[in-house]
Every structure is written in C-alpha cells, then in structure tokens.
Amino acid sequence: VTDAAVRGYFRHEGHRTVISQRALQAHADPWLGWTELGGAGQLVAEVSPYAVDLDWSDIDDPAEIAATVADLGRATATMHAAADDSSGHSLVPFSTERAIDAAIGADGEGFAELLVDFAHSYGARARADHQIFVDLFRNDRIPGLQGPAGPSTVSL
C-alpha cells in the first residue's frame, strides 16, 4: 500500500487483510482475526470444512436450474451488499450503492432493458467463443496441447 493515509489506517498486513475481508464478504468468518508473531502481522482464520465446489451434475431440470440461478443471484447480491454504505468502514469514502442509483436514476425500466440486452449479447459472444475454441481444439490448432503421444484425445 503506497498511500500514506491508507497505510497508516492498518496496523500490519494481517489487520489489513481482516478489515478487507470483512468489508467484502457478507458473512465473514466470525473467528477471523490478526496477531503478531515475531513483530510481523499475521492473519488468523479457520479452515472451512465447507470448502468444496458445487456439484452441478444433477441439475438438469429447467425448474431446478431457475431455482439454483435465483439462489446464486441472491448469494451474489448479498456478497456485493457487504461493500455498501452499512459496511462500517470509513477508509474508502465512496458509496457503490449511491453511484449505481445515480446512474440508473428514474429510468429503472431502461436499466432492466439494458441488462437484458447485455445478457443476450454476452451469451451470444460466449457461445461464439466456445465454438471457436472447439473448432481450434478439434483441429489441433492450439499450440501446446499436443503432447508426446500426439494430438489430444479429449473430446468436446
């Protein structure tokens, strides 16, 4: 951290990490903390027994997909809300909530249309990029993916 005011706000890197995580996570580890060992700041955190990835293999029904996406949307919104005005930290005098509200203004309907258009455009770009990747991969045109046994045998 090069800014003197920001650097002076934190006791050490452990303190900086804890404050940052609490500001950015809606449900930060309640045991998250810091200490000093040999004069060096340290982060203290519990290793989560829940640190596993989601299993998507059984989600194939449109209703299940919709419910999962809704849950993930709420989780994402909750995580982003951790950085809102009520996060309780004065180090960064900027309100994401107010900036977004000011940008949208009274045009909520226009904002919704903008999001839908962006989503469709982004989805089309992602599908086109995937097709380009598959074509390059299947035709062994990606450097570095050909091992000693010859072209890759992975199918897409």
pLDDT tens digits for range 122-132: 999 999 999 99
Kindly list the distances between the CA atom of residue 59 and the CA atoms of 50, 69, 75, 95, in Å, as whole numbers in the listed order: 20, 11, 18, 37
- pTM for the predicted model, two decimal places: 0.38
State the average pLDDT for the chain.
80
pLDDT greater than 80 at residue 88: no
Q: Answer for the pair 87, 96: CB distance below 8 angstroms, yes or no.
A: no
Is 66 a residue whose pLDDT tops 70?
A: yes
CA distance 80 to 77: 5
pLDDT score of 84 more than 70: no
What is the predicted pLDDT for the residue at 149? 46
The CA-atom distances, in angstroms, between 11 and each of 6, 38, 93, 128 are 11, 14, 20, 49
Per-residue model confidence as pLDDT tens digits over 17-64: 888 888 887 777 777 888 888 888 888 877 666 666 677 788 888 899
Q: What is the pLDDT of residue 128?
A: 96
Distance CA 115, CA 119 (A): 6
Q: In the prediction, which pLDDT does 91 show?
A: 59
